[in-house]
């Protein structure tokens, strides 16, 4: 069993890693072990372009010079502060590509993610998380399995966001998992973009400031999946996702066990063996080959029983 947390940098896991894990954990491991392979398909590229176009429609992208890991994290905080202040003052009612992070459910892992979109109702001050998914070939919803990963993703975003709002994420947790120095002075360009908040010149003081702003926001009220067709960039279906904390906790705990090294990677169950048909690792996948061997062995035993022949593969009594 490898330490896969170390393979992805040893500090945190992306929410998108968990989505791959939910689809097929073994496939995710094979991809991690061969990271150099180019896996972006034209459909994936078109999806990325559509996300970028939607982001640029509501906000500018500003380049900030990063001189340390602390600077990189500070940029996430600046984005969160901007969102919280815009929502509070009514300066904006939608923000896209919002960073969220935290260590949910006490599983000992740090998660990082980028929420596609958060909408704020100007009258009710209600926040909605919307995750956009694009479809390349048709205006149809994806398979049940694929949608299960999307549901978990949007629920995790709500969980991470709400934990920030309720003050459940601490400076110490961030410093510990991300190996950051809270007392390190931020770089000049980061301080420049802080404007009149320049007094927050260390990661620790900026984190305090950002958390205070976030804690003035409400929890996420609704979580929605928005499916768009790549051909016309239009939404063809909005799917409301009922947040289920018990389900999410259990699903996340199953994922976390693998990352902590408590168990080996698993491939798909027999009912989902159809996923192997389009998997680039199908010919060599140890999990799949083992399952095929088990099924053949069971069939041989069943045939032998019907013919009254002793099963020679069975261990001697």
Q: Kindly list the residues in this chain that would bind ligand SF4 in the complex (CB under 6 A).
A: 24, 26-27, 30, 267-268, 275-276, 279, 281-282, 285, 287-288
Tokens 């994936």 -> residue: 44
Instruction: State the minimum distance, in angstroms, from the CB of residue 300 to ligand SF4.
Output: 22
Q: Which is nearer to ligand SF4, 139 or 291 (CB)?
A: 291
Instruction: State the minimum distance, in angstroms, from the CB of residue 294 to ligand SF4.
Output: 13
Instruction: State the minimum distance, in angstroms, from the CB of residue 116 to ligand SF4.
Output: 26
Q: Which is nearer to ligand SF4, 30 or 101 (CB)?
A: 30
Q: Which is nearer to ligand SF4, 24 or 80 (CB)?
A: 24
Q: Which is nearer to ligand SF4, 181 or 290 (CB)?
A: 290
* Nearest residue to ligand SF4 on Cβ basis: 267
Instruction: State the minimum distance, in angstroms, from the CB of residue 21 to ligand SF4.
Output: 11
Helix (H, G, I), strand (E, B) or coil at 260: coil
Q: Which is nearer to ligand SF4, 23 or 236 (CB)?
A: 23
Instruction: State the minimum distance, in angstroms, from the CB of residue 216 to ligand SF4.
Output: 44
Pull the structure tokens for residue 130: 């919307």
- Which regions of the chain does DSSP assign to beta strands (E)? 13-14, 94-102, 111-120, 127-135, 220-229, 234-241
Interatomic CA distance for residues 119 and 157, integer angstroms: 13
Instruction: State the minimum distance, in angstroms, from the CB of residue 32 to ligand SF4.
Output: 12
The phi-psi region of residue 205 (left if phi > 0; otherwise alpha if psi is between -120 and 50; otherwise beta) is alpha
At a CB cut-off of 8 Å and minimum separation 6, what does 133 contact? 47, 142, 150, 225, 226, 227, 228
Q: Which is nearer to ligand SF4, 27 or 223 (CB)?
A: 27
Nearest 5°: phi and psi at 96?
-120, 160
Pull the structure tokens for residue 137: 């070939």
Residues in the chain: 317
Closest by Cα among 132, 54, 128 to 87: 128
CA distances from residue 241 to 15, 221, 315 in whole angstroms, order as listed:
17, 11, 50
Q: Which is nearer to ligand SF4, 152 or 241 (CB)?
A: 152
Instruction: State the minimum distance, in angstroms, from the CB of residue 147 to ligand SF4.
Output: 17
Q: Which is nearer to ligand SF4, 196 or 283 (CB)?
A: 283
Q: What is the full DSSP assignment across 21-83?
A: HHH-HHHHHHHHHSTTS----HHHHHHHHHHHHHHHHH---------SHHHHHHHHHHHHHHH
Instruction: State the minimum distance, in angstroms, from the CB of residue 288 to ligand SF4.
Output: 4
Q: Which is nearer to ligand SF4, 50 or 273 (CB)?
A: 273
Residue 19 near residue 151, CB atoms below 8 Å: no
Residue 224 near residue 129, CB atoms below 8 Å: yes
Instruction: State the minimum distance, in angstroms, from the CB of residue 34 to ligand SF4.
Output: 12
């Amino acid at each position: 069993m490898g330490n896969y947390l170390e393979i992805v940098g040893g500090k945190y896991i992306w929410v998108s890693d968990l989505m791959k894990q939910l689809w097929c954990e073994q496939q995710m491991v094979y991809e991690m072990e061969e990271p150099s392979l180019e896996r972006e398909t034209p459909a994936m590229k078109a999806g990325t372009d559509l996300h970028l176009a939607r982001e640029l429609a509501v906000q500018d992208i500003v380049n900030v010079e990063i001189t340390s890991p602390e600077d990189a994290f500070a940029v996430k905080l600046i984005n969160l502060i901007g969102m919280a202040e815009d929502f509070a003052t009514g300066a904006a009612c939608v923000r896209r590509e919002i960073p969220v992070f935290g260590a949910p459910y006490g599983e000992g892992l740090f998660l990082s993610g980028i929420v596609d979109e958060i909408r704020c109702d100007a009258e009710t001050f209600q926040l909605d998380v919307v995750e956009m998914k694009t479809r390349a070939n048709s205006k149809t919803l994806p398979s049940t399995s694929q949608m299960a990963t999307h549901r978990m993703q949007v629920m995790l975003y709500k969980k991470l966001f709400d934990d920030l709002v309720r003050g459940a994420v601490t400076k110490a947790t961030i410093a510990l998992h991300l190996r950051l120095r809270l007392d390190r002075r931020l770089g000049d360009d980061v301080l420049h973009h802080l404007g009149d908040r320049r007094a927050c010149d260390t990661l620790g003081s900026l984190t305090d400031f950002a958390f205070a702003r976030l804690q003035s926001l409400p929890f996420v009220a609704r979580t929605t999946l928005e499916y768009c067709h790549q051909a016309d960039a239009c939404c063809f279906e909005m799917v409301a996702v009922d947040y289920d904390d018990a389900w999410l906790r259990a699903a996340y705990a199953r994922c976390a066990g693998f990352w902590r090294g408590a168990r080996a990677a698993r491939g798909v169950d027999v009912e989902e063996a159809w996923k192997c048909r389009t998997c680039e690792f199908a010919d060599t996948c140890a999990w799949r080959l083992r399952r095929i061997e088990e099924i053949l062995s069971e069939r041989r035993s069943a045939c032998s029983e019907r013919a009254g022949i002793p099963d020679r593969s069975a261990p001697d009594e």
